[in-house]
Structure 1
Amino acid sequence: MSLKSLLLAALMIATPAMAQDPETQVAQGRLIGRSADGIDSFKGVPFAMPPVGPLRWRPPVAPINWEGARDAGSVGAICIQAPANGDPGVGPGTPSEDCLTLNVWTPRERAGALPVMVWIHGGGYNNGSGTPPLYDGTNLARRGVVVVSINYRLGRLGFFDHPALAFERAPGELAGNYGVMDQIAALQWVRENIAAFGGDPGQVTIFGESAGGAAVTQLMVAPSARGLFHGAVVQSGLGRQRSALLADDRPGRPSAQTLGDIFARSAGLGAATTADALRALPAERLLTPMPSFYSDNLLVDGTVVPEDVIEAFAAGHQAPVPLMIGANSAEFWWIRPTDAGAYGRTDDVMTDAEYDALVAAYEGQAGYDAHVVSDLIFNEPARRLARLHAAAGQATYLYRFDVVPESNPEPSGGATHASERPYVFDNLHTVGRPMGERDALAATAMADYWTTFARAGDPNRVEHPAWPEFGAAPDQLLEFTNDGPVAKPIPNAARLDLIEAFYDRIRP
């Protein structure tokens, strides 16, 4: 053997074969991703034009084509938001208005088209992104699915209107719910391009938590989202919320245009301000005062979101797709019903009889104070939407999450808000404190159930306890406990019944 051949052979032995960077072709051009441990990823992929300048407060516009191959090895910017508050769902990167990108994870080796899971992050429609390690789709993709995480406009950039913007709009132009429009644009991009990543555009499941769960229910009632997804998972996604209208004020609830006018005046823009003046405001100026999820960011515009979620489900107007829905056992354990803010003071309109009956159902004032807000905002609404969806003849699966790590530092008395996320993604390493064997088992179970649901519209084809279908087994759910998943009657049903009766009285 020649010296050259010997050197070449030695180099091949000393340098393990590296996976070639994956490439794929989408409608806009060629993408170069990254491959690691059998999973290909493509990050920072634009699904819409940057919504800047004249495109601020406009519906998303399809992205332009690019020349050559575009590097998709790193995530894009997160959308404009206030500085991170320690929430691991915010993600890395500098906030920017140029943020309408998505990320894709797909198995390198695959046989046939795979089901697709599109993640919609939470954060009160004010913060968060699809980019943090918490939402890395690698461990879900290992189970034979294609995972997509998306960004969408937040706060006043995503949910906003003003009389000056209305004055300049073309007849029929969509307005107000720009963040929801972004979510729909991302789903349209998925439909048109996901086959290039091995995904099946006819088998798409949307899943989200908190505001992302509320987004899933809004998409279920959005006519323009119909047919873009075929299954839905709602994690702590509210359900009873009442939205502001775009232009019409309600008693005690100003419209989006009124709220926009109040903000513009606080920003030093007079009553005669123009759309150009609003679009010239620095994006950071739109962050203060922080818009409220309940009063500012939840909008019924009449077209994109034509009605409130609870009303749409009651009328059978929601998408006829399989639904998994649930909440955590101690969602907002730190908020008391007497606290100020959107979630506190939720019991102000209770009668004395309703209040006394609930205190008794919670076995005293301490139990009431600790749990009534969580039940009012999350647990009873999840049960109600599950009942309505099952009554419409759709496959429905209700859950309750009650897994608490031994390392949990909070005196929560249960699973707090958003604590299920690292289990669903099987990303316990992102928690930042020790996680035990029972946590690993719970993460395996949840990720298996979630991906099986995406594959079959039924979470039950896995080696885990059977999850009762809600229509066939009324008021039965699957509870994720420290000892594993357990099928059982809905816990605390008596107090949820009292809350349901309270809602029926104040919101017939």
Structure 2
Amino acid sequence: MKNERRLRIMTAEGELRGLIDDDLFVFKGIPYAAPPVGALRWRPPQPVAHWQEVREATQWGDASWQNRDYCVAVGGGDPGRFNEDCLYLNIWTPDVEPSRPLPVMVWLHGGGFTIGAGSLDPYRGKALAAQGVVVVTLNYRLGHFGFFAHPALDAEYPQEAVVNNFALLDQIAALQWVQRNIPAFGGDRQNITLFGESSGARSVLSLCCSPLAEGLFHKGIVQSAYSLPDVPRRRAQQIGKQVAAHFGLPDHASAEQLRQLPADQFWPLQRPLGLGPVAISGDAVLPKPMLETFMAGKQHRVPLMVGSNSDEASVLDYFGVDPATVLQQIRRKNRLSYGLMKWLYDIHDDTLLGRAVARDMAFTVIPLLVAQSQHSIGMPAWRYWFDYVSENARDLYPHGTWHGNEIPYVFNTLTSLKPLPERDYTAADKRFADMVSTYWVTFARDASEFSYRLQGKIDWPVWRPREDLTLALGDQGKPQAVLKARFMRGRLRLFRLLMRSHVKL
């Protein structure tokens, strides 16, 4: 029953009061762990204190400290207020008393682990929830608060239990909260899909490899994950010591001294004082590098949907990757590979060739690697390629879909975004968003380890090596889905060999 009485929901931690938005229930700013401040900075998330009175869940929680201008420019909008106290989640649900529990979709935002928030406009869960799922978005610790290593902090743990990936632990704590509480919101704790884009997609893959996350989710969607290697813990410690020195602390700074540093002084730090958009390998959360784990077929046994966009090179500057340099490196180290690429791509301008090569090495190869790994352990994977640009913006995006530009189609939030009038979304764009979001919801609702296809505008078969089918979402500018056999097969096989040998991004 959707009435005022049901706005009040009892969770394990206390009672919440939410909002109604067009017949959907929305709960904002729910704390899923204790504030990681003071003595809890750079510690695993702790249980949130229970509350006795009804808690208002009508305002977004604060975001982790970050560069606001950069988030507005490329991260999806204004992330709101900043605070080290940032461990909050949001829920959209169509029914808190459904006849059958509803699938749950938990979103991990991107932003290179340095910007972003679960409350940004493109991530609003209203349209997805209207299709019969419970949507959860969340904030987690970013930048140095999310990923940090220093000998003084590591010494607080037994050698085999050191923690450096605090952001991943936050995400795990949010999943544990969902397991405890999502039935009160109409959700099925036995059908949880973890999905994310960019660093959020890397988080999905990392949690597929973390012994601490096993059993907390049942399938995953990986949007535009990149192939940059995780940072080894020893290297992360070196960076941590450089950060301490930057703030004037001695070589043997104590954990207490580190925790007394002002929270708002970390986000402006750039390379080489930052770790980059990847996790730290070698701690208790991520014992082995994510790519190594997948290549060994030792990831958790969960179905995965995985894909990338047609112009991911749009983000490579942020990663410190120059496409022309990548091409020069290949030409210098392996002229045969360089010649083979010229032939495979049939692109004779080295700038454009470098852009395509860097895109595929950094992004396009990951869906194939993951699909092959899934097949090797008997788990299904669905591979997609997103290549659609809104009809009134094609002059702005001549090379295809930019990194992150699929998100409003996945969430079906085009109508909530406000482009300039001459760039407004067309009816065809909106129909395409309906189709894309339906595939995501279908995966969340129906995919299991026994699935062999997903139903949709066209049925989407599971990936198998012989057929090697990829669903192209958008084709030659048309808002349609097309199955492509052996998509980029030759060039991606070459890149897998290069990844195993000597070419690094």
Q: 1:449 matched to which residue of 2? A: 439
**Is residue 244–residue 296 contact of structure 1 (8 Å, CA) maintained in 2?**
no
Rounded Cα–Cα distance in structure 2 between residues aligned with 1:162 and 1:259: 8
User: Which residue in 1 is equivalent to 2:426?
Assistant: 436
The secondary structure found in structure 2 opposite 1:105 is: strand
Aligned residue number for residue 20 of structure 2: 35
Contact (CA 8 Å) 1:452, 1:459: kept in 2 or not? no
Gap change, CA 1:267 and 1:294, over 3 Å in 2:
closer
AA aligned opposite 1:354: S
What are the ranges of 5 or more consecutive residues in structure 2 without an aligned counterpart? none
Is contact 1:449–1:460 with CA below 8 Å preserved after alignment? no
1:370 is displaced (CA, Å) by 2.7
Please show how residues 449-468 of structure 1 align to structure 2 within 5 Å: 449-457=439-447, 462-468=455-461
Deviations along 1:122-157, whole A, 9 cap, x unmatched?
Answer: 000011010112111110001111000011101000
Which residue matches 2:99? Answer: 111
User: 2:306 maps to what in 1?
Assistant: 325
Partner of 1:50: 35
Contact 1:156 1:287 in 2 (8 A): yes
Supply the AA of the counterpart residue of 2:178: V
Give secondary structure in 2 for the equivalent of 1:242. coil
Return the match for 2:336 from 347, 353, 366: 353
Letter in 2 for 1:325: V
**Residue 69 of structure 2: aligned partner:** 84
What secondary structure does 1:221 align onto?
coil
Superposed counterparts of 1:404-443, under 5 Å? 404-408=389-393, 409-433=395-419, 434-443=424-433
In terms of mean alpha carbon deviation, does 114-123 or 34-43 score higher?
34-43
Separation of aligned partners in 2, 1:79 and 1:28:
23
1:245 paired residue among 232, 247, 260: 232
Partner residue, 1:283: 263
| Residues 261-270 or 71-80, more deviating | 261-270
Matched residues in 1 for 2:88 and 2:315: separation?
Answer: 34
Q: 1:334–1:110: structure 2 CA closer, same or farther, 3 Å change rule?
A: closer
Deviation of residue 271 (structure 1)? 1.2
How far apart, in 2, do the equivalents of 1:469 and 1:424 lie? 20
Q: 1:177 aligns with which of 165, 171, 175?
A: 165
- For these two proteins, the number of residue pairs brought into alignment is 482
State the partner residue of 2:209. Answer: 221
Q: Secondary structure at the match of 1:464?
A: coil
CA-to-partner distance for each residue in 1:359-402, whole Å, 9 max, x for gaps? Answer: 33222224312311110110012211111112211111000000
Within the candidate set 218, 226, 230, 1:230 is matched to 218
Q: Answer with 83-92 or 464-473: which moved more.
A: 83-92
What SS does the aligned partner of 1:455 have? helix
The letter of the residue matching 1:89 is: G
Please give the secondary structure, in 2, of the residue aligned with 1:498.
Answer: helix
Equivalent in the alignment of 1:273:
253
| Partner SS for 1:76 | coil
Q: Compared with structure 1, are the counterparts of its residues 395 and 297 closer, same or farther at alpha carbon in structure 2 (3 Å cutoff)?
A: closer
Structure 2 counterpart of 1:478, from 440, 454, 471: 471
Contact 2:68 2:78 in 1 (8 A): no
Task: State the match for 1:252 in structure 2.
Answer: none
Mapped to 2, the partners of 1:506 and 1:189 lie a distance apart of 42
CA distance in 1, matches of 2:322, 2:179: 37
What displacement does 1:319 show? 1.2
| Distance of 1:289 and 1:414 partners within structure 2 | 32
**Contact 2:219–2:304 (CA under 8 A) maintained in structure 1:** yes
Gapped regions of structure 1 (runs ≥ 5): 1-16, 249-254
| Residue of structure 2 equivalent to 1:100 | 87
Q: Distance in 2 between matches of 1:378 and 1:33?
A: 39
Distance 2:88 2:230 in 1: 27
Q: Distance in 2 between matches of 1:490 and 1:91?
A: 40
Q: Is the 8 A contact 2:202 2:278 kept in 1?
A: no
Q: 1:194 aligned to 2:179? A: no
Query: 1:100 Cα shift?
Result: 0.1
Residue 110 of structure 1 deviates from its aligned partner by 2.6
TM-score normalised over the length of structure 2: 0.90
RMSD value, Cα: 2.3
Give the corresponding residue for 1:9: none
Q: CA deviation at 1:432?
A: 3.0
Deviation sequence 1:249-302 (CA, Å, 0-9, x none): xxxxxx111000011112222213221111111112112323577657421134
Where do residues 156-171 of structure 1 align in structure 2 (5 Å cutoff)?
156-169=144-157
Which protein has the larger Cα radius of gyration, Structure 1 or Structure 2?
1
Q: 1:469: which partner in 2? A: 462
Cα distance, 1:315 vs. partner? Answer: 1.8
Cα drift, residue 490 of structure 1: 4.2
Partners of 2:386 and 2:217 lie apart in 1 by: 25
Question: Take 1:461 and 1:188, find their aligned partners in 2: how far apart are those partners?
Answer: 28
- Of stretches 388-397 and 122-131 in structure 1, the one that deviates more from structure 2 is 388-397
- Residue identity opposite 2:485 in structure 1: P
Q: In 2, Cα distance between the equivalents of 1:334 and 1:321?
A: 29
In structure 2, the CA distance between the partners of 1:72 and 1:335, relative to structure 1 (3 Å rule), is closer
- Write the distance in 1 (CA, Å) between the matches of 2:21 and 2:62: 23
The residue identity in structure 1 corresponding to 2:425 is M
Cα distance in 1 for residues equivalent to 2:25 and 2:224 = 30
Offset at residue 172 of structure 1 (A):
5.2
Name the SS for the 2:208 alignment partner: helix
Q: Is the 8 A contact 1:334 1:412 kept in 2?
A: no
- Structure 1 contact 256–296 (Cα < 8 Å) conserved: no
Q: Residue 45 of structure 1 contacts residue 101 of structure 1 at CA under 8 Å; is this kept in 2?
A: yes
- The one-letter code of the counterpart of 2:90 is N
Q: 1:289-337 CA distances to partner (integer Å, 9 max, x unpaired)?
A: 235776574211342111112211122211111110000011114758x
1:66–1:106 CA distance, 2 compared to 1 (3 A): same
CA contact (8 A) 1:322 1:396 kept: yes
Residues 51, 200 of structure 1: CA spacing in aligned structure 2 closer, same or farther, 3 A cutoff?
same
Counterpart of 1:287, as a letter, is W
TM-score (norm 1): 0.89
C-alpha contact (below 8 Å) 1:448/1:462 kept by paired residues: no
Cα offsets for 1:458-482 (capped at 9, x unmatched): 5955441111210276311100112
Structure 2 distance, partners of 1:320, 1:232, is 11
